[in-house]
Structure 1
């Protein structure tokens, strides 16, 4: 038995996923290595690197409308925003073990149609499908759909919970012998009946991922999700969020291991700590250009701030809580509180508008030598701030190459990350039981 094998039973396993960097300011667009956001070769490259690194899954975001700012289409959106399940179905043919996670709205889809597409992906991939459940109460996005954006903020989780439950009823409607049974669901948001035309998925249910930090979101995660895409990146915030969500599971008859919490994070590597810090600072300056800084500030203030100097102080005027200058983005629900926090930070550290935006909008980032990054990531898992990480690279599509080559071997050396896939399905990778009909687990 090797030293690595002796250590492994005493260490919590780490889960890793790869997020395809989308049309936002995470990507360093002016880097000459920055590639297409829609060319299939970009998706293939990142997915294959993630699979070579033995990642649990590949994660795709989705946008249902081109975002606008002050009546103009947001610059980055003109590159295109392809439909995630279509991309993942194609990736199923060029990968073998990597999980395939699609972001799909529970507000602007229907249970039968989406359950069918997800079950099909699970069959085509041999049990690797996952659904990131998102919601929207945004009337701007809703204009693309017959219903429009009529849902109140709290009501969207009610619909989402019923949506997930209905989809699971459909996946459970086939017998163990492989024959369809009639189903009928009559609830507040959906009334459907008939026979589901796709056999039960290889995983029983595709893995359900959820992101949401409100009270309703945390409760929905505890009741229905297999994975939480968390935004809590610091150790202290992560431990508090982890403990709160895991505590809620018991009310639904679930164990702490039934739900994996995985925050989205970035990383910057260097041969020395100083080099990594210098690279990280340069990346953040390129991610938040002077124009981007003002755009983000306008989203909070709800005002035209184009006359302000990005290298000058924050506006003295207060935000307009009712005004909208940006559409199709996640909005701040308490702009006055956000502005107060930003002002306090700016005044305490003497930060300009651009510096304030850089400091307040960045994801948790692991910065250092490969060994320092591996050690710090392992610490987060060991101290129960997370079960793993969804890595959001700064480059499309090669932003994970260096991490897989230089950090993953060190995580394996520590005995906290797998050295091979132990099963064919995403549930195998995540250590999740395969559900049997009616929500009982094997």
Structure 2
């Protein structure tokens, strides 16, 4: 009896930004806004045969204590502009962009993604996110109007409406010389009408059906509502868990939900974010990882992070001194504005109690406490050790693959591409070349409205979860 074939690993690359992952002080660190940086990063990912490149996007620079965060990228180009430009300098790499469903309209977003899918010949993907804070909403006409509890209902209707637009052009609705844009075989092509709670629109969608039919849809929420939204509507979920027990619990939970929507396990990929530090030996890598964490969490960063919990101005405290003796202020976070305004800990008073006990027991300063309580890199070790870890987690149904976030831009992916990827290829768990032309091909996903495509072996049924999820990697101040 032949042995079961191993699952194939999916790998992608997240261009860093809007976080404290980047080590800005490293001499190798480059620009986060020059197009050359995006080109270098994308070409490295494509050289390594990754599935896609991922771009996050913030709709407003975050503030804390009335000042813009040091870790925010000022001047970051528009996501669609960057992805369209990268389509011209890459051939197979998928192009994934984060676009907000709260402060946009279905028609314009559908038109932009359908256009990107045409320009890239079928490599577009949309990470659907929501927003509810009034601070971000001040940049938009309907700023702050959406109650937090309504953000997913709007997102679900937004995505459903966009899909109606994508599907308004039937396959084959355009005659052979459609490039001229002059003739339609069917006068119904592009016609749509949607009358719902959030959107009441009708007309004609003016972009013909794109190579993938619809862009690949990603979802990044971890709440119960977010998991349900992903199970109902997404092709992949941008997960948070990079450890065995927490990853298997999340994997099993999300995959379990698919059946309620008539979907199978192969129709949703689970791809956690992952950081990494490589060294010639495991010991060397762990030494480097500790230094990276110290550079990522400066004294100022540690104070800003602590302010998220305390909801107070702590600028007078010494980051190399003890934790504040005052308690956190309960209620809505008012010191941080923007994405970071969400209270990251449900019980700040209990969090402060636990942290004080930990700091006292280990004699930790504020900075040392933040370093010790925020997640270290997901993968640390020699290339062989990192390859082993990635493969083990995927084969154990803790993930279908990983979205890698290097700490150096734009060259931080180079070492992984040159050393870890060849080892995964030797094991037969990662492609040596692209087998298809579209992102749906890379992910083993069918084109909507067609018979199921040949599915990747990366989606075996999830096994029983081993434990409850652990806290996610710490967000940056």
Aligned match of 1:275: 284
Aligned match of 2:438: 425
Q: Which of 130, 150, 172 is 2:125 aligned to?
A: 130
Aligned match of 1:149: 144
Cα distance, 1:410 vs structure 2: 0.3
Say if 2:185 is the partner of 1:190. no
TM normalised by structure 2 equals 0.88
Q: What SS does structure 2 have at the residue aligned with 1:38?
A: coil
Say if 2:371 is the partner of 1:358. yes
Alpha-carbon displacement from aligned partner over 1:267-307 (angstroms, at most 9, x marks no partner): 11111111000000000000000110001111121101112
**Structure 1 290/51 Cα, relative in aligned 2: closer, same or farther at 3 Å?**
same
Q: Which of 94, 98, 101 is 2:96 aligned to?
A: 101
Say if 2:449 is the partner of 1:436. yes
**Structure 1 344/249 Cα, relative in aligned 2: closer, same or farther at 3 Å?**
farther
**Structure 1 230/340 Cα, relative in aligned 2: closer, same or farther at 3 Å?**
farther
Cα distance, 1:178 vs structure 2: 2.1
Say if 2:337 is the partner of 1:327. yes
1:15-414 aligned at under 5 Å gives the runs: 15-77=10-72, 79-179=74-174, 180-322=189-331, 323-330=333-340, 331-332=342-343, 334-336=346-348, 337-347=350-360, 349-362=362-375, 364-414=377-427
Tell me how many residue pairs correspond in the alignment: 434
Aligned match of 1:3: none
Give the CA RMSD over aligned residues: 1.7
**Structure 1 364/209 Cα, relative in aligned 2: closer, same or farther at 3 Å?**
farther
Q: Give, in whole Å, the separation in 1 of the partners of 2:354 and 2:173.
A: 57
Q: Give, in whole Å, the separation in 2 of the partners of 1:123 and 1:371.
A: 39
User: 1:233·1:363 contact (CA, 8 Å) conserved in 2?
Assistant: no
| Structure 2: segments with no counterpart, 5+ residues | 175-188, 454-477
Q: Give, in whole Å, the separation in 1 of the partners of 2:362 and 2:7.
A: 38
Cα distance, 1:82 vs structure 2: 1.8
Q: What SS does structure 1 have at the residue aligned with 2:217?
A: strand
**Structure 1 340/218 Cα, relative in aligned 2: closer, same or farther at 3 Å?**
farther
User: 1:57·1:99 contact (CA, 8 Å) conserved in 2?
Assistant: yes
Q: Give, in whole Å, the separation in 2 of the partners of 1:436 and 1:345.
A: 55
Higher helix share: 1
Q: Give, in whole Å, the separation in 2 of the partners of 1:252 and 1:288.
A: 43
Instruction: Tell which deviates more after alignment, 191-200 or 312-321.
Output: 312-321
| Structure 1: segments with no counterpart, 5+ residues | 1-5
Q: Give, in whole Å, the separation in 2 of the partners of 1:344 and 1:146.
A: 47
Q: What SS does structure 2 have at the residue aligned with 1:104?
A: strand
Cα distance, 1:23 vs structure 2: 3.0
**Structure 1 363/57 Cα, relative in aligned 2: closer, same or farther at 3 Å?**
farther
**Structure 1 64/237 Cα, relative in aligned 2: closer, same or farther at 3 Å?**
same
Cα distance, 1:344 vs structure 2: 5.0
Cα distance, 1:335 vs structure 2: 4.5
Q: What SS does structure 1 have at the residue aligned with 2:430?
A: coil
Instruction: Tell which deviates more after alignment, 319-328 or 193-202.
Output: 319-328
Q: Give, in whole Å, the separation in 1 of the partners of 2:443 and 2:351.
A: 36
Alpha-carbon displacement from aligned partner over 1:196-231 (angstroms, at most 9, x marks no partner): 000112111100011111111110111111111111
User: 2:17·2:73 contact (CA, 8 Å) conserved in 1?
Assistant: no
Q: Give, in whole Å, the separation in 1 of the partners of 2:73 and 2:291.
A: 26
Cα distance, 1:175 vs structure 2: 1.8
**Structure 1 346/188 Cα, relative in aligned 2: closer, same or farther at 3 Å?**
farther
Q: Give, in whole Å, the separation in 1 of the partners of 2:197 and 2:401.
A: 36
Instruction: Tell which deviates more after alignment, 69-78 or 335-344.
Output: 335-344
Q: What SS does structure 1 have at the residue aligned with 2:274?
A: strand
